[in-house]
């Protein structure tokens, strides 16, 4: 199981999604005040009415995909199931990433309506789902190569 490269890719995607819970997504700055957006909370002054719907679902969705990836690692003898779960996982991660960036943009717009020009700095947490998607794509490519190798060996028998 661990000698296969796709297992390493899946493990790296899992680690990226676990780290997603601990790193800041973005910092919003206005003058000397800074607010930090985390996957589960908005750190700083209270943002009453801000569109924070992502905070309820983003971290939970990332953790569910991480659990699916962990399940994929344990299903090393069923490559077709791994491929399907890989496709499903990176689809959900893609949706998660798009919603995350849309939500960060709407938070910025909301803050600019009430305060003026806001500076946004995207942190490591906002890039971790993209990194996980890349590792899942690499894992799926390796699984396909394994499947093709097994099929060619079956033809030789």
pLDDT tens per residue across span 119-140? 999 999 999 999 999 999 999 9
Q: What is the CATH number of domain 5-156?
A: 1.20.140
Q: What band does 20 get if pLDDT is binned at 50, 70 and 90?
A: very high
Residue 115 and residue 42: Cα distance in Å, rounded? 17
9 to 19, 82, 123, 149: CA distances (angstroms): 15, 12, 23, 19
Q: Would you kindly state where each structural domain of the chain is located, as residue ranges?
A: 5-156
Residue 130 and residue 39: Cα distance in Å, rounded? 15
pLDDT tens per residue across span 26-73? 988 888 888 888 887 777 655 555 556 666 688 888 999 999 999 999
Chain centroid, CA 141 distance in Å = 19
């Amino acid at each position: 199981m661990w000698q296969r490269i796709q297992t390493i890719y899946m493990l790296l995607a899992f680690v990226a999604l676990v780290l997603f819970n601990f790193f800041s997504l973005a910092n919003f700055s206005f003058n000397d005040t800074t607010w930090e957006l985390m996957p589960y909370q908005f750190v700083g002054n209270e943002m009453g009415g801000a569109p924070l719907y992502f905070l309820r679902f983003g971290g939970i969705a990332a953790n569910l995909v991480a659990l699916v990836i962990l399940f994929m690692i344990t299903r090393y003898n069923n490559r077709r199931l791994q491929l399907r779960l890989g496709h499903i996982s990176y689809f959900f991660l893609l949706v998660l990433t798009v919603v995350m960036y849309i939500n960060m943009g709407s938070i910025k717009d909301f803050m600019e309506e009430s305060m003026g020009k806001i500076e946004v700095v995207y942190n490591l947490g906002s890039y971790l789902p993209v990194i996980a998607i890349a590792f899942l794509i690499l894992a799926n490519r390796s699984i396909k190569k394994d499947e093709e190798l097994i099929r060619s060996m079956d033809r030789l028998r």
